[in-house]
Amino acid sequence: MRYSFFSLARNALAGHSLWPPAWRPAKPKTGYDVIIIGGGGHGLGAAYYLAKRHGIKNIAVLERGWIGGGNTARNTTIVRSNYFLTPNSNFYEHSLRLWEGLTEELNFNLMFSQRGVVNLCHSQAEIESFVRRYNSNRQNGVDGELLNRDAVRRMIPALDMSEDHRFPVLGAVIQRRGGTARHDAVAWGYARAADALGVDIIQNCEVTGIRTQAGAITGVETTQGDISAEKVGIAVAGHTSQLAAMAGVTLPIETHLLQAMVSEPVKPFLNSVVSSGTHHVYVSQTDKGELVIGGGLDGYNSYSRRGMYSRIEDITAAAAELFPRIRSLRLMRKWSGAVDMTMDGSPIIAKLPIDGLYLDGGWCYGGFKATPAAAWCLAHTIANDAPHDLNRAFSLERFRTGHLLNERGQGNRPGLH
Amino acid sequence: MRRPTKEDVGALIDPHTTLDFTFDGKQMTGFQGDTVASALLANGIDLVARSFKYHRPRGIVSAASEEPSALMTVRIDGLEEPNTRATQALLQDGMAVQSQNRWPSLEVDVFGVLNSASAFLPSGFYYKTFMAPSRAWPFYEWVIRHIAGLGKVPAEPPTGRYERTFAHCDVLVAGGGAAGLVAALSAGRAGARVIIAEEQSHLGLGLLPETGTIDGMKPWDWVGKVVAELTSMPNVRVLRATTVVGLYDHNMVTLAERLPALNTAEAQPRQRLWKLRPREIVLAIGSIERPVLFENNDRPGVMLASAIEAYADRFNVLAGRRAVVATSHDGGSLTALRLKKHGIDIAAVVDSRNAISADVAAALKAQDIRCVTGADVVAATGRRHVNGVRVRLRSGDVDMDIDCDLVALAGGWSPNVHLFAHTRASLGYDADLGAFVPGEAPLHVHSAGACHGVFGLADAIRDGLTAGHNAIAACGLTPADVVMPDITGGHEFQPRPPVGLPQGLNQNRVFVDLQNDVTVADIHLATRENYGAVEHLKRYTTLGMGTDQGKLGNLNGLAVLADIRGVEVGDLGTTTYRPPYTPITFASVIGGDKGEQNHPTRRNAAHRLHAEANAHWVNAGLWKRPQFYPQAGESDLEAVNREVLSVRACAGIVDVSTLGKIDVQGPDAIELLERVYMNGFRTLPVGKGRYGVMLRDDGMIFDDGVTMRIGETHFIMSTTTGQIQQVVEHLTRMLATECRNLDVFVTNVTESWFSCALAGPDARRVLKGVTEGIDLSPTALPFMGCAEGVVAGLPARLFRISFSGELSYEINVPSDCGTALWKRLLAHGADLGLKVYGVESMGVMRVEKGYFVVGREADGRVTPDDLGLGRMASKKKSYIGSAALNLPALKEPGRRQLVGLVPVAPGIKVPRGATIVEKGVHEGGAPPIGHVTSQVFSPCLGHGVALALVAGGRARMGEHLTAASPLEGGDVVVEVVDPVFIDPKGERLNE
Amino acid sequence: MVIKCPFCGPRADVEFVYGGAAGLTCPPDDAGDTAMTDYLYRRENPIGPHRELWVHRHGCGIWIEVERNTLNHVITRTGPVGETR
C-alpha cells in the first residue's frame, strides 16, 4: 500500500486495521543468489539496490536480532559530505544526493531535513583549516560557506558568543545541505522497499559460519540452518572483524566505543547541527525536541556498549560551553555503540580475497550518513564483481599498498580518527 | 484536598510552616515538606499538564520518579528548570510553578484539537505522510517541531552552585525501604563504611501503610529507630532525596542528590552528583505499582493506588472523595480498606479475579465496601476529570456505571530492575508476578526486597539481611549480630497484574504510555505492520521513550504485545535499560567544569610582561601565547609587518617557552635517537645540535625539532608545542617495548625552562653585552652549537638555532628566572634596537624561509620526500617508519609535494586555505590537485607568499596554477616556486 | 574502569591513555611489504580477552600491559610491558 496523506486518511476511517506489514516476516529458503549479512540500513539498502538497479531477484537479508538494531539504531543521525579527501567527498556527496531523493524513492518519510551542519571555529588557525577543507569541497562540487561571527550569532541564537569565552567563537563553516534524518526509518524504509521487490528479510537469524569451497563462497551457516548462496555481502557494523574472521580474513579494524546522549525534550532551541572540534562535541535537536549530544570515542577496544562515565562528563561539559543555557536541562538517556574503526579512518567497500564475498564495513563514525551510497556501492560491487568508481578507493588492498585515505592524518591509531 | 490537621498529621509535612507558591500565576499555599504535587492536590488542582502528542488533560498519577504526566517548569531564586517532576520537587516558599506544552492555557489549549484528530495521527503517521511535495517538508517539520517538545529552555543558565563529589564506601545501599534499611544496618554494625541513598526525602516511607508490628513497634516507629541508629554511626552516611542513577564498569556508581533549590545556607549547592566506587552494592530500590488499562485511563483523577495512599500518609492530602479501586490482587482491596480509614469513600473494589481471599472479602464486607469480582473497569468517564467508571463483568458484558472522582490503579507490583540491568546482567521473567526479576547477579551486586522479586514485609527484611550479610562477607568483614526482627500482623499477598485486557475496549483511548500518548491501538498497529520486536515497538510507537523511561508503561506495553503475538512476556525480552535511572540535570553532571575550570589557562613565566607590552593573545592548546604586540593605531597586519622587518633589520626576541623540551639521558640515549629519528645522530659531537625528523611507523612525518647533545650521554630534544606529550609517550613506549633493553631515561622538562629566541642580524651584538663565560664568536658557537654559561646574570643554556632564518640564539633559563631574563634582555637591548615579536611574526618568517610545521604542511599524510626531505633520511640505518617508506604508494611521483607559490600579479596575497587547480579550471570543474598549507604577506618581498602541497609539484616549477578560494572569493594565479623565499643559501643564520 | 598500575596501584581509567594491542613487533626492514603492513594495519580485534598497552599519563607515565575483556571490561592481569604472559 502506497503511503500518502490519502492512504492515511482512508485507513483512519477503517480504524487502521488494513495496513499491511511494512515487510513480510520471512523464513529462509535453501538458497539465494545473494545473501546480505546484516539487516541495518546498509544491508537492507544493498538488498534494495541489488533488486532495483541490478535486477537480482533472489536475495535474502539475514539479521541476527531485529532489523535496524545495530548502529542504525545508535547513531546521532547526522548527514553531511564535507570531507577533505576527494574520494571521500565524492562518495559522501553521492550519498547526500541519494538522501535528497530517498524519502520519495522509498515512499517512506525519512524525515531527512537539511538543517545545515555547522562547524564552529574557535581560532584563526581553525578557520583556516576549515576554509582549506571547504574550498576543496567546493572544488569537488560539495556546498559549503564561511560564516562570520554575526552570521553565526544570527543563525544559532542559543550559542554563547561572548568574546571573553575561554575559546570564543570566531566564525564557522556550514554545509547547508547537511542535516539529520530519522535513523530507524532508514532501515524500515529500505526494508519495506526491498520487501516489495521480493527480498526476504529474515530476523533472528544469526550467521555462525561462512562456507567456502576452493576459495569461493558457497553459503552461510545460521541459527536457522544452512543457506547456500552464490554471493555474500557483509554489512555488520560492530562485528565486522568477527564475520570476516569466519572467512579467514583479518581486517585492519579495531572496534571502539562511541557514546551519545539525549536531553529531555524541549521546545525548539537549536535548528542546525552544531559541532565544535575544539570542544570535541556536536549538538542537534530532534523533531521531538530532545537535544542529541555526542563527542569523541572512549578510546579503547571494546564491544561492551557500556561506556565510561567520564566521557559523559566531558561531552556534557563541552556542550554547555557552547550552550550554557542547557545546564538546567536534564540528561534523559545515554548510550554507546561499537564502531569499527579502520586504521586510516575511511571505510572498506570491497571484494574480499574469497570469490563471491564482499565487505561493507569500517565506518568509524560515518556509517549513518553513508547509508544510501554504501548500500548503492555494495550492490554495484556485488552485482558486477568489481567496485564502482565511487568506492574504488575503499579497497582492502590499500592497506597493502599504502594508498590510505587518512582523512584526519592520524595514521594507524584508530582511537584518534 | 488537605484533611483537617488535628487528627492525623502527614508524616512529611510541618503544618505550622506555610509556604506561598503560584501555579500558572495563581497564588496558593502549601506546607513545609510538601512536594509540588502534594501541594497542588491539596489546593484541589487536578489538571496539571497536557499530554505530549494529543494534548489531552492530565493529572498527577504517582508520588515518585515514575511520574509520566506532572512535568512542570519550576522557577525560584534565579533558577528555572523545565520538565521538573512535580512529584519530586520539594515545595519552597516563593516558588513559581508553570504548566508546559499548552497554549494559551492549561484549561483552554487550542492544541487539544489534536485529540479530536487522533484517528489521523496513529503511531508512525509521520513516516507515511508529509512527503509531497518534497519541498514542503521543511514547513511540515517546522510545524511538528513547534508542536513537539515539553518545556522551554530557560533564557539564562542556572545560577548557584552544582557540585560533583567523590566519596568512598565499602557498601552502597540503594534504596531506604525495609530491605535497604536492614542491609545498611547490618553492614554498618559490622563496621563497614556504608552509604545508604533513598530517592524520597525520608527513609522507609513504604512502611507507612504497614499495619502490623516490627519488634512490637509500629513499622513507622521501627523505621525511626533504625534511621536513628544509622545516623548515629560514624561509618554510615545517610543520603535522602538522592537517587542512584547509574551503574558503570568496575562498580562505578553515580548518585543524584536533590537539595532544596532555595538554599538558606550559602555553602549548599543546588544539586550534588556523587561518584562512588563501592566495593559492594546492595540494590533495594523496591517495586513500582502497575497501572490498569481501560478507556480514558489517562483522565485526571486516575492514579496509582499507592500514590493516593502516599499523599494521605505523607502529606495529609486526599486526592479525591470517592474512589473506585481497580485491581487484580488482594493488595488492591487492602489499600481500599486503608484509604477508607483515611476518609476516602470507596465506591467499589473491582477485581479482575473471580474470587478474592476470604479474609479480605470479610474485611471489605465489615467496612461495607462493595467488591465486584470477575470484573474490570473498562472506562473512565468525565471530560476534564473522572466522574465515574464503567465496569464490565468478565462472564458477560453486563456493564455498570459507578460514580467516583478518583480511580485507584492497583495492577500489581513490578520489581524495579532498572539499576540491575545497567550491569548488563540478564533478567528473568517471573510469570506469577507478571514481571521481570533480576537474573544471576554479577559480582559485587546484591539485590534485596521487592526489586529482587521478594514481596511482603517479613520476606523483604529477611532478604535485606541476607544481602547485607553477603555484602559484608564479600568485603572480608565479619557479619554483625543483626537478628531478624519479630514481625506480626499485616497482610501478605502476592501481587499480580490482570490476565489479559477486557473485551470490547476502544483501544484508541487506552493509554499504555501516558507521556507519549501510546495506546493499545498503537501496539496493535505496530504489530500488524511487523514492528513487533520489542525494540521496534518502542521505536515505532515511542513507547517508553519519554522522560519517565517507561517506568509505568513498559510492562503493560509488553503484556499487550505478548497477548497480540500469542507469546509469553518473558519470551519477548525487554528494551535496554540505559542510565540514568531518572533524568539528571546537565549542571549536576558538569559540576564546576566550566570555563577556566574546564579548560584552565596555561600562562608561562613572562605572561605578565607580555600583557604589559600589550600582547595580542592567541590560544595554543591551553597556553596563551603573544601573537603580536600592536602599538597604538596599528592594524594587526601592520603590527606583524613591523615586527618582522625589525627582526630582519636588527633584532627581536620571542617567547618560545611552550616548545617541548625533553631530557634524554643514559648510556644508550644515542641508540634511542637513532631509532626514532630518520636522520643520523651518531656522529653528532657534544656541544652541537642537529635538526631531526621523526616519523610514525607508517612512514608519515610525526614531529621535528632540534636535539642538542649537551653531554656524551645527555641530550635535550625539542618538539612542537602541541606534541610534547605524544613525543614523550612515543619515546617511553619505545623504551617499554622494542627498545626495552636500552638504558635511557626520558623526562619532559618543558615546564622547567623559560626559553626565548633572540634573532636578527644584531642578535650577537645584543647578547654579547649580557653574556658571561660563553664565547659567542661564530667559530666558537656556530650555527647548531650549544653552550652553557650566564646570560643576564642568570644560569643559561644557549642554543644557536633559528626558526626565522636569521642569526638566532635560543636562550634557556630556569623558568623562575624567565621574567628576569626577559626584562634584562629588553633593558639591555633597547638602545641596540631590540624589540619583542610574537608567534604570528615568527610564523611569517618561517614561511618566508620555507620551514614546514607539524599540523600544517606535515598534516599526518606526508612523507619526508613529500616535503623535500627525502635526502635527509638515512639510508644506513633502520628507524621507525623506514620500512613503510618502501610501500608503493609512498613512492609515487604524483604525491602532493611541498612547493612555494607566489601570486603572478604584484602586491597581492594568496588566499588562505586555497585549493589548487590547473589554471583556468573553475569551481567544480575538476578535483583539486593541491592545497595551500600556509600563506603570509611577506613584508620583505612586498607580496604574498605561500607554501602548498601540490600533486607532483616539484616537477612543475615555474608553471602557473590557480589558487582558488570559492569560499572567500578570489582566484589567484600563482607561480610554482621553490619554497624558500628568503636567503635560500642560509647565509644569515650561519653568520 | 579501574586499572591497576603495577607501579602506582589501582587508579581510575581517566588517568590512562590507550595504546592499542600489545605484543606487536615491528618487522625488520627487509621483511617485505606484507609483513610490514600486517604489523601496521591488521588487528585481531577479538571479542573477549585482549592484551593491550596503556600509558599511565596522569600518574607515573610508564607504559603497562593490560589483559582486559573487550566484552565486559573485566581486567584479568596488569603488569609491566611484556610481563603479563
Whether A46 and A96 share a structural domain? yes
Cell of A108: 517512506
DSSP structure class, residue B317: B
Domain's final residue, options A313, A342, A371: A342
Residues A56 and A93 both lie in one domain: yes
At B905 the three-state DSSP class reads: coil
In a domain, A221, yes or no: yes
Work out the burial of residue A30: count CB atoms within 10 Å of its CB; fewer than 13 is exposed, 13-18 middle, 19 or more buried.
exposed
Are C47 and A413 an interchain contact pair (Cβ–Cβ within 8 Å)?
no
pLDDT at B71 over 60: yes
Residue C73 to residue A304, Cβ atoms within 8 A = yes
d(CA A287, CA A109): 13
Beta-bridged to residue B652, according to DSSP, are: B759, B835
| Average pLDDT of the residues of chain A | 97
CA A25 to CA A3: how far, in whole Å? 20
Q: Which chains touch B (3 or more CB pairs under 8 A)?
A: A, C
Same domain, A159 and A280: yes
Q: Look at B729 and C82 and tell me if their CB atoms are within 8 Å.
A: no
Average pLDDT over residues B404-410: 98
Q: Is any Cβ of chain A less than 8 angstroms from the Cβ of B351? A: no
DSSP code string of A65-82? SSTT-SHHHHS--EE---
Residues A142, A95 share a domain: no
Question: In chain C, which residue's Cα lies nearest the Cα of A308?
Answer: C1
Whole-number Å distance between alpha carbons of B574 and B567? 14
Mean pLDDT of chain B, nearest integer: 95
Q: pLDDT-based confidence at B263, cuts 50/70/90? A: low
User: Which cell numbers in the block locate residue B856?
Assistant: 600544517
B129/A103 Cβ within 8 A? no
Residue at grid coordinates 565524492: A90
The percent of residues in chain B predicted with pLDDT above 90, rounded, is 93
Amino acid making up residue B591: G
Instruction: Kindly state whether residues A291 and A275 are assigned to the same domain.
Output: yes
Contacts of A415 in chain C (CB under 8 A): 18, 20
C58 part of contact set with chain A, CB < 8 Å: no
Query: Residue A17 falls within a domain, yes or no?
Result: no
Distance between CA atoms of residues A76 and A70, nearest Å:
13
Q: What are the tens digits of pLDDT across the range B863-885?
A: 999 999 999 999 999 999 999 99
Same domain, A156 and A226: no
For the segment A219-246, the average pLDDT, to the nearest whole number, is 98
**B924: helix, coil or strand?**
coil
Q: Worst-scoring range by mean pLDDT, A139-153, A271-285, B493-507, B835-849?
A: B493-507
**Which domain covers residue A273, as residue numbers?**
117-178+255-342
User: Identity (one letter) of the amino acid at B833?
Assistant: G
Residue A6 lies in a domain: no
In a domain, A413, yes or no: no
C-alpha cell at A327: 545546564
Measured distance CA(A42)–CA(A36) in Å, rounded: 9
Q: Which three cell numbers stand for residue B222?
A: 521501627
C-alpha distances (whole Å) from A290 to each of A271, A284, A304, A310, A381 are: 12, 8, 25, 22, 38
Q: Which three cell numbers stand for residue B25?
A: 500565576
Share above pLDDT 90 across residues of chain A, in percent, rounded to a whole number: 98
In whole angstroms, give the CA distance from residue B229 to residue B946: 77
Conformational region of residue B792, where left means phi above 0, alpha means psi within -120 to 50, and beta covers everything else: left
Considering only CB atoms, A324 lies closest to which of B157, B531, B917, namely B157
- A410 assigned to some structural domain: no
Domain of A353: which CATH number? 3.50.50.60
* A292 and A337 together in one domain: yes
The alpha-carbon gap from C52 to the nearest alpha carbon of chain B, in Å, equals: 12
Residue B132, amino acid: A
Q: Is residue A241 part of a domain?
A: yes
In a domain, A9, yes or no: no
Examine residue A311 and state whether it is found in any structural domain, yes or no. yes
Please provide residue B107's backbone torsions phi and psi, each rounded to the nearest 5 degrees: -70, -45
User: Using one digit for the tens of pLDDT, what is the confidence trace for B270-328?
Assistant: 899 999 999 999 999 999 999 999 999 999 999 999 999 999 999 999 999 999 999 99
* Model pLDDT, residue B78: 82
What is the C-alpha to C-alpha distance for residues B17 and B31, in angstroms, rounded to an integer? 6
For residues A34 and A173, state if they share a domain: no
Strands A171-175 and B445-447: unpaired
What is the predicted pLDDT for the residue at B5?
64
Q: pLDDT digit string (tens) for B568-623?
A: 999 999 989 999 999 999 999 999 899 999 999 999 999 999 999 999 999 999 99
Which of A245, A312, A315, A249 is CA-nearest to residue A279? A315
Q: Is the pLDDT of residue B52 over 70?
A: yes
Residue of A157 and B989 predicted with greater confidence: A157
Strands (E), A142-252: 145-148, 171-175, 179-180, 200-202, 207-213, 216-222, 225-234
Q: Mean pLDDT across the stretch B18-43?
A: 97
Contact residues on chain C for B697, CB-CB shorter than 8 A: 26, 39-40
Q: Check CB contact under 8 Å for A301 and C21.
A: yes
pLDDT on residue B10: 80
Nearest to B210 by CA among B87, B322, B334, B327: B334
Task: Tell whether A69 and A155 lie within a shared domain.
Answer: no
* pLDDT value for C85: 45
Q: Is the pLDDT of residue B159 over 90?
A: no
Asked whether the beta carbons of residue A8 and residue B125 sit closer than 8 angstroms, the reply is: yes
Count of CB atoms situated within 10 Å of the CB of B146: 11
Report how far residue B440's alpha carbon sits from residue B445's, in angstroms, rounded to the nearest whole number.
Answer: 10
Query: Which of C17, C54, C73 faces A302 most closely, judged by CB atoms?
Result: C73
Residue A66 in contact with residue A263, Cβ under 8 Å?
Answer: no
pTM of the model: 0.97
Cβ distance A291 to A326 under 8 Å?
yes
- The closest CB to that of A400, out of C17, C37, C68, belongs to C37
Domain boundary among A308, A342, A376: A342
C50 touches chain A (CB under 8 A): yes
Cβ–Cβ contact C45 with A under 8 A: yes
- Both A246 and A374 in one domain: the answer is yes
Asked whether residue B736 carries a pLDDT value surpassing 80, the answer given is yes
φ/ψ of residue A181, rounded to 5: -140, 165
Spatial distance between the Cα atoms of A36 and A25, rounded to a whole number of angstroms? 16
Q: Residue A181 has which C-alpha cell? A: 534524518
> From CA A168, how far away is CA B714, in angstroms rounded?
42
Give the closest-approach CA distance of B319 to chain A in angstroms: 28
B535 and chain A in contact, CB less than 8 A: yes
Cα separation of B953 and B526, whole Å? Answer: 61
Three-class SS state of B10? coil
Total count of domains within chain A: 2
Burial of A105 (0-12, 13-18, 19+ CB in 10 A): middle
**Interface with C, mutate which of B248, B250, B424, B738 (most C CBs under 10 A):** B250
- The DSSP code for B244 is E
pLDDT of residue B293: 98
The answer to whether A343 contacts C70, with C-beta atoms less than 8 Å apart, is: no
DSSP assignment of B547-567 equals: TTTTTTTHHHHHHHHHHHHTS
Decide if pLDDT at B7 tops 60.
no
> What would the pLDDT profile of A297-345 be if each residue is shown by its tens digit?
999 999 998 899 999 999 999 999 999 999 999 999 999 999 999 999 9
Residue of A nearest to C20 (CA): A300
Over residues B967-973, mean pLDDT: 93
pLDDT in tens, B477-490: 998 878 899 999 87
Window B:241-260, CB contacts with A under 8 Å: 246, 248-249, 252, 254
Instruction: Reply yes or no on whether the pLDDT at B454 is more than 80.
Output: yes
**Smallest CA–CA distance from C71 into chain A, residue:** A304
Contact criterion met (CB below 8 Å) for B910 and A129: no
Search chain A and give the residue with CA nearest C69: A302
- The alpha carbon of residue C70 is apart from the nearest alpha carbon of chain B, in Å, by 12
- Contacts of residue B225, defined as CB under 8 A and 6 or more positions apart, other chains included, come to B217
The Cα–Cα gap between B546 and C31 comes to 58
Tell whether A124 and A231 lie within a shared domain. no
Structure ipTM: 0.98
Q: Which residues of B870-901 are buried (b: 16+ CB within 10 A; e: fewer)?
A: eebbeeebebbbbbbbebeebeeeebbbbbbb
CA distances from B245 to B162, B446, B583 (A): 17, 16, 8
Residue B261 above 90 pLDDT? no
In degrees and rounded to multiples of 5, residue A414 shows phi and psi of -55, -30
| Gap between the Cα atoms of A286 and A270, Å rounded | 9
Three cell numbers at B48? 496539571
Helices (H), A107-208: 124-139, 149-155, 183-196
- Does the beta-carbon distance from C42 to A301 stay under 8 Å? no
pLDDT tens digit sequence for B87-140: 999 999 999 999 999 999 999 999 999 999 999 999 999 999 999 888 999 999
**Whether pLDDT at B9 is above 80:** no
Judged by a CB distance cut-off of 8 A, whether residue C26 touches chain A is no
Which domain CATH number covers A142? 3.30.9.10
pLDDT, tens digit (0-9, with 9 covering 90-100), for B763-800:
999 999 999 999 999 999 999 999 999 999 999 999 99
Q: Classify A98 as helix, strand or coil.
A: helix
Whether a cis peptide bond, with omega within 30° of 0, leads into B814 is no
Q: Which of 127-186 (A) contact C at CB < 8 A?
A: none
Q: What is the pLDDT of residues A57-94, one digit of tens each?
A: 899 999 999 999 999 999 999 999 999 999 999 999 99
Chains near A (3 or more Cβ pairs under 8 Å): B, C
Tell whether B741 is within 8 A of chain C (Cβ). no
Q: B733 and C28 in contact by Cβ < 8 A?
A: no
**CA B343, CA A149: separation in Å to the nearest integer?**
65
Residues of chain C in contact with residue A416, where contact means CB-CB under 8 angstroms, are none
Which helix H or strand E contains B20, and what residues bound it?
A: strand B14-23
What's the rounded mean pLDDT across residues B968-978?
95
| Residues above pLDDT 70, as percent of chain A | 100
Q: Check whether residue A39 and residue A145 sit in a common domain.
A: no
Q: Determine the distance from the C-alpha atom of residue B983 to the mean position of all C-alpha atoms in its chain, rounded to a whole number.
A: 53
Residue C74 in grid coordinates: 573485566
Q: Which residue of C has its CA nearest to B253?
A: C1
pLDDT at B11: 87
* Grid coordinates belonging to A263: 536531553
Q: What is the pLDDT of residue B397?
A: 72
Judge if the upstream peptide bond of residue B580 is cis by omega within 30 degrees of 0: yes
Query: What is the three-class DSSP state of B205?
Result: helix
For residue B373, CA distances in Å to B359, B387, B409, B432, B697 come to: 15, 22, 15, 20, 78
pLDDT of residue A372: 98
Q: What angle do CA A388, A390, A393 make, to 5 degrees?
A: 95
B517 closest CA partner among B32, B12, B55 = B55
